[in-house]
Amino acid sequence: MNELKGLIYNLQPFAVHDGPGIRTLIYMKGCPLRCLWCSTPQTQKMGYEIIHIESHCRKCGRCAEVCSNGAIMIPPEGNLMIDRKRCTYCAKCIEICPHQALELAGKYMTVPELFDEIEKDQPFFRRSNGGITMGGGEATMQHEFVAEFLKKCKQHYIHTAMETCGHIAWEHLEKLLTYLDLIYLDIKHMDSPMHKTLTGVANDFVLDNARKVCSSHPVIFRIPVVPGINDSYENISATAKFAAAMGENLLRIELLPYHQFGAQTYFRLGRKYELSGIEPPEDSHMRRLKILVESFGIKAQIGG
Amino acid sequence: MSDVQSALRDRVSTMRPAARVEKLRQRYTKIKNKVVIDVARILTRTMKETEGEPLVVRRAKAFAAIVRGVPVNIYPDELYVGWLWSEPRGSEIFIKYTDLEKELDTISTRKYTPFLLDDADKRILKEEIFPYWKKYFYSPIIPPEAKKMGIRKAPITPVLFHYVVNYEKVLKRGISGIKREAEDRMARLDLTDPDDIKKVPFLEGVIVALEAAAEIGERFAAKARELAAMEREEKRKEELLKIAEICVRVPANPARTFYEAMQSVWFVHMMVGWEAGFHGGQSIGRADQYLYPFYERDIREGRLTEELAQELIDCWFMRFSQMFSLLPENEAVFMSNHTSAHHIDIGGLKADGNDATNALSYMFLEAMMHTPGMVEPTIGLLVHSKTPERILIKACQLTALGGGYPQFINNDVLVDNLLSRGATSGGKPVSLEDARTFGGCVGCHEPSLHTMESGWTVGQNQHLAALMECVMTNGWCRVHNTRRGLETGDPGQFKTFEEVREALRKQIIHRMKVGAIAANLGEELLQPTLFTSALTEDCIENGTPREEGGARYSLGAVSFDGAVDAGNSLAAVKKLVFEEKKITMEQLCTALDHNFKGYEDIRKLCLEAPKFGNDNDYVDEQVAWITHLTTEEAKKYLSRYGGTKYPIQVLLSSFVPLGMGVGALPSGRLAGEPLSDGVSPTVGSDTKGPTAVLKSVGRLNNAEVGLSQTLNMKLDPVIFTTDEGFKRLADLIRVFVDQKVDHLQINVVSSDTLIAAQKTPEHYKDLVVKVAGYNARFVDLHKDLQDSIIARTEHGL
Ligand code: SF4
Ligand code: SF4
């Protein structure tokens, strides 16, 4: 039997900012969007990725020796180069690297395997009214697997939450909602063409899904506040106005200040960080945006 | 305090500190450490003068001479009188530190925790004090058999430490009342009974000691009156007269008010130190419990306001922080600003099993918020399944401020621990009521039955990591190139994992025996205490000092370290050599012999093997096996004064220097790297965060490790960005209770702050970090230790 497997980037126990209580955050691989500010680019691709941790690397050359695809080059100056088009993710280089400088992002797990892992923290969920949160990447991309997994969580009385970009066919999302207690939905930009420029897709799906989800489930909107990109009063007002029409199920808007913790990861994936010039928003600006949102009668919070 | 921290403090603290508190706090941080020899000088001179008399009588006379002879100073703005070593930041000289004699000339200029030393005092130390004590402590006889086992010198342990005397009894009866008890006991002796005759000198000594102790108040009262007469400022004059009034009363008589009670406890604590020296762990006990009736009555009768009570508590707390142990340089490097761990417990249980938290419990936590930068008292919250959420949240708020306090002590495990002692602590089995009422901690966080225990000394550390090395070398120590352990056979010939474990078992059994012998030799050097014994149940009734088994319960200690390193190593050997067969024992031994140089592939495999602290049974059960075996072995040996020896894995910061003597291990740890700190996961190996750590440690049989093992955890302050963070931490502590972990100390500080502190230490003097069971100013720590604190895996987000 071909057992259902999910591709998972990582599990983060003791997550405290992504839903009530102490939670385990599950980073799924794959995302239909390519947000410029993404802080976890290693989760975007639906498939394995090689991460090279330059600070651990001693350029010993062992990885290049074992790579039968000739995907690794070690220039005399500067960083090791991986030709990711040639790489077949055989992981030989990772096994051989004596300095833990290479990592494989991505791990296939069955539903019971993943459940066994998260179940370890049941004593913490129970004490804190916590649970699990599906994140990523975009968990809905692996909706079949995620549905099975969430179903199992609910069978065991575990609180479930999911973060989603909202860009997904409604029937898939609807299936997941059956097993979800709380939804975090990103509203990245209210202007559709702008949304497309920033994330690669238009926002009509997102807004439409938002309306539907709010009709049945408690929802929290999240806005990654990126200076000069979506932090204008105009855009935030538009979002708040949209939220105000959602009714009681919309619990609040969380304004997440943009940060650069992920910048390094782009480099480690051999990618370029497009937003390098942008600084995190000023605290005072964040506070003003919070007040702005609240003026629409919507609860607001800075940070998760 | 950083801006972030002070903002947080304003958010969580319920009362502003009184102006006096902040003024004194500022003043104290500026005072330099100083060696004070008053006590040592008087003790030495009296001992010389009384040569030939029974030792108990000589010690009694010496104590009396100290109480009557130390300088009486009262400092501006202070509400209490008496400093342990005459003045704030004074420190006694530990006679046990032979190395200090050689360092007297450099003590005031050395890099780590320098101490000022007067030239005249230096001369007295060199000419009188050290030469006199040498003959007692420097040359114990080592039997040939012990020499053969590698014991070259006995640990020098002139006193039993780690105990709580009966402060409550002093508050209720006064020193004079206790003296009458001793006189009454003397009168009841049956002098036809040879056993009773033996009790005479001790009881005589107790009476001499208590008579002097009762006079201490009067000495300070006289000084206070004298200063009041000269005082121009009306308010201070009143304060001084109030002090005089209190000191006339206590500690000789029962305390009547909260203020009197606080001063009385302080006097007693001070005198305990004068008699026995603060070698660590002389603790205050459950002060919120025994002080509460005084507080409650004063408030009810309108004598005291909450504000004034808080000010009294704040000032009282700061006194514990004003003395650092003077250590020889080689130890000071790793234990800078090492204090004596005056442990205070709050919360906990009542005899009937209900929660004992009261208003003072909250105010004690508040006092810690008011006095940042103070590293004492070592405050612990006794948490159990009925602990109210409110005190737990308050404790978590204090934790968030980053000083590493309070420690969380699992009261449920503590009770299990005390009950499981059976008859091994020299007396009848501990009753459930006693376990609840008198159970608490001493020192860093060692479980104790307050007021009735002898106290103990830590003889010598047994290094389990080194023993694991011995398994891989057939008894050899690679770092020092000498024989260290048993010859348990050529490791290359081990055919099964069980043979490896058997070799480690033999090494541990052997080493614990050596440890017991060394501890016995040290215990032989003990000198009797009179004052301290009189305040320990049932020494007066038994007519016998603590050091001879007079206490209701007596126990010894054998300390060990490196259980986690050894357990990680076993797991790696099991997995790589015997299960996956990726390497052979020979290959592994060769790699270790070369400290993995040229064998990076093998090291990689070793590092990737399961590590303790990740909620993984495979390795956790190895650590549990080692801890259990070590515990069982320790309990096989009796201490000199009754009871068995108890295991303890509390390392302070010695896991850093101890690691220097241990070669590469199968866990992947390189030669010389620090060992793990108690049962805290090895630095950097706890990749799954705090929840997994608690599960792993919870898998150990923590209640059986009689004197506890340290669990330190570092949390990123980011969890406190909203008030929800306090609740999350409180939830985490609930699980700590559920999982039967016995101790937890949480250090909330970002590594960025620590790195910044390394660069500009002058800006970060306030930064108190948990080192291991005790707290120290980060900037005073050795670079290596700073680095290892920084490297400790960041948990949280
Ligand atoms: S094997 Fe590892 S350390 Fe060596 S060059 Fe490759 S990535 Fe760097
Ligand atoms: S994963 Fe395999 S193919 Fe890819 S770089 Fe490494 S060795 Fe080459």
CATH number, domain with residue A60: 3.30.70.20
Which CA distances in Å does B532 have to B209, B455, B466, B524? 9, 10, 38, 19
Which CA distances in Å does B412 have to A189, A230, B628, B736, B771? 53, 53, 19, 11, 25
Owner of token pair 């894995």: B649
The answer to whether A7 and A47 are in contact (CB under 8 A) is yes
pLDDT at residue B316, as a whole number:
97
Task: Give the residue from A60, A83, A105 where a domain finishes.
Answer: A105
Contact B688 A13 (CB under 8 A): yes
Q: Ligand 2, closest atom to CA A92?
A: 7
DSSP B669: P
Supply B136's token pair: 């007692």
The verdict on B717 touching A (C-beta cutoff 8 Å) is no
Q: Is B597 on the interface with A (CB under 8 A)?
A: no
Structure tokens at A275: 């937003």
* Residue (of B740, B736, B695, B678) closest to A13 by Cα position: B695
Mean pLDDT of B320-340: 76
Out of B196-210, B235-249, B497-511, B763-777, pick the least confident: B763-777
% of chain B residues with pLDDT over 70: 92
Question: Tens digits of per-residue pLDDT, B13-68?
Answer: 999 999 999 999 999 988 988 999 999 999 999 999 999 999 999 999 999 999 99
Judge if A189 and A84 occupy the same domain: no
The length of chain B, given as a count of residues: 797
Task: Please state which of the ranges B30-39, B105-114, B201-210, B326-335 shows the lowest mean pLDDT.
Answer: B326-335
Question: What token pair was written down for B661?
Answer: 């003597």
pLDDT at position B794: 36
Q: Cα(B144)–Cα(B149) distance, rounded to whole angstroms? A: 9
* Cα–Cα distance, A47 to B652 (Å, whole number): 47
Whether A123 lines ligand 1, by a CB cut-off of 6 Å, is: no
Q: How far is B593 from chain A (nearest CA, A)?
A: 18
Q: How high is the pLDDT of residue A60? A: 92
Residues B618-638: b if buried by 16+ CB within 10 A, e if exposed:
ebbebbbbbbbbbbebbbebb
Quick one: which H or E segment has residue A64? helix A62-66
Rounded distance from Cα A124 to ligand 1 centre (Å): 39
Beta strands in chain A (DSSP E): 5-15, 23-28, 49-52, 72-73, 81-82, 102-105, 107-110, 131-136, 159-164, 182-186, 219-225, 250-257, 300-302
Q: Which has the higher per-residue pLDDT, B750 or B236? A: B236
3-state SS, one letter per residue, for B595-660: CCCCCHHHHHHHHHCCCCCCCCHHHHHHHHHHHHHHHHHHCCCECCCCCEEEEEECCCCCHHHHHH
Tell me the sheet residues that pair with B440: B448
Q: Active-site residue B589, yes or no?
A: no
- Asked if residue B770 has pLDDT above 60, the reply is no
Task: Tell me what the mean pLDDT of segment B283-301 comes to.
Answer: 98
Mean pLDDT of B593-608: 95
Pocket test for ligand 2, best of A74, A87, A94 (most atoms within 8 A of CB): A87
What is the model's pLDDT at position B516?
A: 87
Token digits of residue B326 = 């003077």
Distance between CA B465 and CA B622 in Å, rounded? 13
* Closest alpha carbon to B566 in B468, B672, B696: B468
Contacts of B688 in chain A (CB under 8 A): 13
CATH number, domain at A21?
Answer: 3.20.20.70
CB–CB of B262/B316 below 8 Å?
yes
d(C-alpha B377, C-alpha B774), whole Å: 10
Tally Cβ neighbours within 10 Å of residue A157.
Answer: 10
How many Å apart are CA A256 and CA A260, to the nearest integer?
12
The residue with greater pLDDT, B129 or B313, is B313
Pairing relationship of beta strands B556-561 and B645-648 according to DSSP bridges = parallel
* Cα(B605)–Cα(B616) distance, integer angstroms: 17
3-state helix, strand, coil in chain A (%, to 5): 35, 20, 45
pLDDT of residue B484: 86
Q: Do A12 and A150 share a structural domain?
A: yes
A134 and A99 share one domain = no
Q: Are A252 and A298 in contact (CB under 8 A)?
A: yes
Tens digits of residue pLDDT in B133-191: 877 665 567 788 778 777 777 666 667 889 999 999 999 999 999 999 999 999 999 99
Instruction: Note down the domain range covering A221.
Output: 5-45+109-302
Give the DSSP per-residue string, B384-416: -TT--HHHHHHHHHHHHTTS--SEEEEHHHHHH
Among A235-239, B405-409, B639-643, B675-679, whose mean pLDDT is lowest?
Answer: B639-643
CB within 8 Å of chain B, chain A residues 118-137: 120-121, 123-124, 127-128, 130
Which residues neighbour A85 within 8 Å (Cβ) at sequence distance 6 or greater? none
Residue A214: pLDDT band (50, 70, 90) is: very high
Buried b / exposed e over B517-529, threshold 16 CB at 10 Å, is bbbbbbbebbbbb
Confidence of residue B771 (pLDDT cuts 50, 70, 90): very low
Q: Stretch A220-225: mean pLDDT, rounded?
A: 96
Give the ligand with the smallest distance to the CA of B600: 1
Give the pLDDT mean for A247-271: 87
Summarize pLDDT for A94-136 with one digit per residue, the tens: 999 988 889 899 999 999 999 999 999 999 999 999 999 999 8
Cα distances from B228 to residues A21, B217, B234, in angstroms, run: 58, 16, 9
**Co-location of A250 and A101 in the same domain:** no
Catalytic residue chosen out of the listed positions B247, B315, B441, B444: B444
Same domain, A72 and A126: no
Residue A114 C-alpha, separation from nearest chain B C-alpha, in angstroms: 15
Does B770 or B713 have the greater pLDDT score?
A: B713
Residues A226 and A170 in one domain: yes
Where does B651-718 show beta strands of DSSP type E? 712-715
- The ipTM is 0.91
| Number of domains into which chain A is organized | 2
Rounded to 5 degrees, φ, ψ at B90 are -80, 155
Helices H, strands E: what count in chain B?
A: 33, 16
* A184 and A287 co-located in one domain: yes
Element (H, E) at B557: strand B556-561
Beta-carbon-side half-sphere exposure of residue B608 (alpha carbons within 13 Å)? 17
Mean predicted lDDT score pLDDT of chain B: 90
Are A41 and A151 within one domain? Answer: yes
Please state which of the ranges A242-251, B347-356, B634-643 shows the lowest mean pLDDT: B634-643
Q: Which two tokens stand for residue B473?
A: 């070398």
The answer, yes or no, to whether any atom of ligand 1 lies below 6 A from the CB of A57, is yes
CA dihedral over B287, B293, B296, B302, signed as positive or negative: negative
Contact B458, B647 (CB under 8 A): no
Question: In the predicted model, what is the mean pLDDT of residues B344-359?
Answer: 98
pTM here is 0.91
| Average confidence (pLDDT) over B523-540 | 93
pLDDT of residue B528: 93
Q: A37-93: per-residue pLDDT in tens?
A: 888 899 999 999 999 988 779 999 999 999 999 999 999 888 899 999 999 999 999
Choose the final residue of a domain: A36, A70, A105. A105
| B732 and B765 Cβ atoms separated by less than 8 Å | no
Are A230 and A174 in the same domain?
A: yes
The residue written with tokens 């709380």 in the block is A182
- Residue B336: per-residue pLDDT: 61
Position of tokens 């006092």? B367
Same domain, A156 and A41: yes
**Do residues A195 and A62 share a domain?**
no
- Supply the angle between the helices A204-214 and A170-177 in degrees, to the nearest 10: 30
The residues near B94 (Cβ < 8 Å, ≥ 6 apart) are B100, B277, B279, B325, B326, B327
Work out the minimum CA distance from B734 to partner chain A, whole angstroms.
7
CB A179 within 8 A of CB A161: no
By most ligand atoms within 8 Å of CB, the mutation choice from A55, A56, A59 for ligand 1 is: A59
Is residue B760 packed enough to be buried (19+ CB in 10 Å), middle (13-18) or exposed (0-12)? exposed
User: Largest Cα–Cα distance in chain B?
Assistant: 85
Q: Considering only CA atoms, which of A19, A297, A304 is closest in space to residue A183?
A: A19
Better-scored residue on pLDDT, A195 or B749: A195
Contact B370, B362 (CB under 8 A): no
Choosing from A88, A105, A122, the residue where a domain stops is: A105
Among the options B92, B446, B633, B704, which is catalytic? B446
- Do A159 and A234 sit in the same domain of this protein? yes
Mutate to test the interface with B, among A10, A11, A14 (most CBs of B within 10 A): A14
Q: Which one of the ligands is nearest to A48 CA? A: 2
| Per-residue pLDDT at B526 exceeds 60 | yes
Whether A14 sits inside 8 A of B796 (CB atoms) is yes
* Beta bridge pairs of residue B448: B440
More confident call, B583 vs B145 = B583
Give the SS3 label for residue A13.
strand
Residues forming beta bridges with residue B553, ordered by sequence position: B453
- What does the pLDDT read at residue B775? 42
Alpha-carbon distance B589 to B593, whole Å?
6
Rg (CA), chain B: 26
In this prediction, residue B325 carries a pLDDT of: 77
The maximal CA–CA distance of chain A, rounded, in angstroms, is 62
Among candidates B316, B307, B308, which has minimal Cα distance to B287?
Answer: B316
Q: Residues near B612 by Cβ (< 8 Å), separated by ≥ 6?
A: B564, B567, B568, B571, B619, B620, B622, B623, B676, B679, B681, B682, B685, B696
